[in-house]
Structure 1
């Protein structure tokens, strides 16, 4: 999702686009990872030094309410964020580093659909989070 689309969502919510919010939106749109609010604050502050952490939180809250970003709550870590327009994917969370790796597996998708069908359901929505540690090389 582009910074312009995120700006449109804020405008639709009646929120004025300031230099600070513009920096936050550019940072969020350019992120190729799953930053938390503090990471967004630090990155946006490099673009616009007057950004405040409270503005980051308020902006994220409005964008989440508008459905254009997703809050990802991984066990034992602060909430992370990603734009809502990315294709469906699941997450592998590295317990040592906290890294979040996106992946998609057709085998897993088929198995989930098969299980749901056996139980008499159609899957409307799901998320899969795997937590692990890298295997040690022998």
Structure 2
């Protein structure tokens, strides 16, 4: 059985072609790929798949509820999706083009843990979004 089928079953979701195709797209994404529902719809169309945009939104919402994906809401109403993972990483977003890059910094991670402990907290989750202008923003317009 394919990995995506196992993940869908573990999440309690029925195996359907749209779910499998959307999961495969997310699974094949590189670290720097953060796609909106519209991006995923466009990829499906390029692959010749007959899946509507409403279905893509519905499946992504189901994946999010099942803990398979994380939805990031960036400023300006820009939302993108990536598969859930245990690695702690942060994002920097170009406010001009919508390009998203991941980064992970052990010094930041350690300091956040220390801050939580200093304040009597056990850190269970965290999110850092940095905003700026990507040097090649005009070449990579996504928004």
- TM category, shorter: 0.7 to 0.9
- Does the 8 A contact of 1:37 with 1:57 survive in 2? yes
Give the structure 1 partner of residue 131 of structure 2.
131
Structure 1 residue 9: deviation in Å?
4.8
Q: Distance in 1 between matches of 2:7 and 2:99?
A: 25
Give the structure 2 partner of residue 99 of structure 1.
99
Q: Distance in 2 between matches of 1:48 and 1:29?
A: 19
Give the structure 2 partner of residue 23 of structure 1.
21
Residue 3 (1) aligns with residue 4 (2): yes
Give the structure 1 partner of residue 71 of structure 2.
71
Q: Secondary structure at the match of 1:88?
A: coil
- Does the 8 A contact of 1:95 with 1:133 survive in 2? yes
The unaligned stretches of length 5 or more in structure 1 are: none
Q: Which string of whole-angstrom CA distances, capped at 9 and with x for unpartnered residues, describes residues 38-92 of structure 1?
A: 0000001222331110110111111111101111111114210000025210111
The unaligned stretches of length 5 or more in structure 2 are: 136-143
- Between 1:22-31 and 1:118-127, the stretch displaced more is 22-31
- Between 1:20-29 and 1:40-49, the stretch displaced more is 20-29
Q: Which string of whole-angstrom CA distances, capped at 9 and with x for unpartnered residues, describes residues 4-36 of structure 1?
A: 3444356x23x3413x33322221211220100
Query: What TM-score does the superposition give when structure 2 sets the normalisation length?
Result: 0.80
- Does the 8 A contact of 1:27 with 1:40 survive in 2? yes
Q: Distance in 2 between matches of 1:63 and 1:30?
A: 16
Q: Distance in 2 between matches of 1:39 and 1:134?
A: 20
Q: Distance in 1 between matches of 2:57 and 2:108?
A: 34
